[in-house]
């Protein structure tokens, strides 16, 4: 049994990733109960704050994806309530959640990240879409990858292989956010590296290689069993795997993250990892990457979550 009294798992929310968040919350709750912890799972509705004030949990595990779950808003409320939680603080979340800002930070510490342009919807319309998109293709070349500057689960994201595909990709992107990030697409091996700090500093778990059946790791490929093949650990040489691990830990540290994160990378033909984005509330579903990495490391997921919660509670006491 755990020395934690009771913990709260937050899941759901009102972002586009609500269903994934609910699945993550269920998984975390299940493994924590199996580890002997008294767990309550709650959504972020009007009853949340009164319930926390009436019965403060020892610690909170945030499995909210997108929106308030990763932009620091909910964590700011938890800090106002004096409740400890697993994960990065609000300031770090705000930096990491905005992909262009996160790319600028990791580039400043020497990491490779694809050349890109950030374009708000208003600028896209006001300056003339045709002219602006033409310049983007001239500047970055093809193929391109278009995605919302904030958010996750590949919602609104697409590969653009011809100039004619770019307008539709921008429209699809703007359906999920007001700002688009247009990157030079790097061909290579897609890898996710989870980072955890269980008390001895941030450590990378084994990298997970992602091979979607349709060639694109979109929403369906991420959350539908059988649509993607995963290799944990990734089929990389020891030297390249170590470079991926170093990249993820460097990004975690440079962005000021805490406890847990997941960095998404592309390894090009030369073996160079390229930073794409970082997730401060990694998915915890049956098809999510952090649980796969933990299993590959021989780490029980329930034990990992318990240690993270225990450390969060200890932080608050100190």
pLDDT tens for 72-107 read 999 999 999 999 999 999 999 999 999 999 999 999
**CATH homologous superfamily for the domain 187-280:** ATP-grasp fold, B domain (3.30.470.20)
Q: Based on the residue annotation, tell me whether 17 is a catalytic residue of this protein.
A: yes
CA–CA separation, 24 vs 281, rounded Å? 10
Q: Is 264 annotated as a binding residue?
A: yes
Which one from 17, 70, 183, 190 is the annotated catalytic residue? 17
| Backbone CA torsion sign across 244, 220, 213, 218 | negative
Determine the topology of domain 7-87+307-316 in CATH: Rossmann fold (3.40.50)
Average pLDDT, the chain: 92
Q: Based on the residue annotation, tell me whether 153 is a catalytic residue of this protein.
A: yes
Q: Record the tokens describing residue 147, joined without a space.
A: 């995605």
The closest of 153, 151, 143, 152 to 188, measured between CA atoms, is 143
User: Above 80 in pLDDT, residue 149?
Assistant: yes
Q: What is the model's pTM?
A: 0.93
Give yes or no for a contact between 273 and 266, defined as CB atoms under 8 angstroms apart.
yes
Strands 116-120 and 38-42: unpaired
CA–CA separation, 253 vs 249, rounded Å? 6
Give yes or no for a contact between 223 and 280, defined as CB atoms under 8 angstroms apart.
no
Query: What's the confidence (pLDDT) of residue 1?
Result: 41
pLDDT tens for 18-72 read 999 999 999 999 999 999 999 999 999 999 999 999 999 999 999 999 877 889 9
Q: Is 218 annotated as a binding residue?
A: no
Average pLDDT score over residue span 195-201: 96
Which one from 153, 158, 194, 261 is the annotated catalytic residue? 153
Domain borders along the chain are 7-87+307-316, 116-184, 187-280
59 secondary structure, DSSP code:
E
Give yes or no for a contact between 124 and 180, defined as CB atoms under 8 angstroms apart.
yes
CA–CA separation, 159 vs 142, rounded Å? 10
Give yes or no for a contact between 157 and 151, defined as CB atoms under 8 angstroms apart.
no
- What CATH class is the domain 116-184? alpha beta
């Amino acid at each position: 049994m755990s020395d934690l009294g009771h913990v709260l798992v937050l899941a759901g929310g009102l972002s586009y990733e609500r269903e994934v968040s609910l699945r993550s919350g269920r998984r975390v709750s299940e493994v924590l109960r199996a580890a002997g912890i008294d767990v309550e799972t709650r959504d972020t509705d009007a009853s949340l704050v009164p319930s926390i004030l009436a019965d403060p949990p020892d610690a909170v595990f945030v499995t909210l994806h997108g929106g308030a779950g990763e932009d620091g808003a909910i964590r700011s409320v938890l800090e106002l309530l004096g409740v400890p939680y697993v994960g990065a603080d609000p300031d770090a979340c705000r930096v990491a959640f905005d992909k262009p800002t996160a790319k600028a930070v990791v580039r400043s510490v020497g990491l490779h990240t694809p050349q890109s342009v950030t374009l708000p919807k208003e600028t896209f319309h006001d300056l003339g879409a045709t002219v602006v998109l033409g310049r983007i293709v001239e500047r970055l070349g093809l193929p391109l990858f278009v995605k919302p500057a904030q958010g996750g689960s590949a919602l609104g994201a697409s590969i653009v292989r011809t100039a004619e595909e770019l307008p539709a990709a921008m429209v699809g992107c703007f359906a999920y956010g007001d700002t688009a990030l247009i990157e030079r697409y790097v061909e290579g091996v897609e890898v996710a590296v989870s980072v955890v700090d269980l008390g001895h500093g941030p450590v990378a778990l084994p990298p997970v290689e992602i091979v979607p059946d349709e060639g694109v790791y979109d929403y369906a490929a991420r959350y539908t069993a059988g649509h993607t093949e995963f290799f944990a650990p990734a089929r990389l040489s020891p030297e390249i795997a170590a470079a991926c691990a170093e990249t993820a830990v460097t990004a975690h540290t440079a962005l000021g993250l805490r406890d847990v994160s997941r960095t998404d990378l592309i390894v090009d033909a030369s073996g160079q990892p390229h930073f794409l984005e970082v997730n401060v509330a990694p998915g915890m579903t049956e098809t999510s990457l952090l649980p796969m990495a933990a299993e590959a490391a021989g780490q029980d997921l329930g034990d990992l979550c318990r240690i993270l919660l225990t450390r969060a509670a200890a932080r608050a006491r100190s």
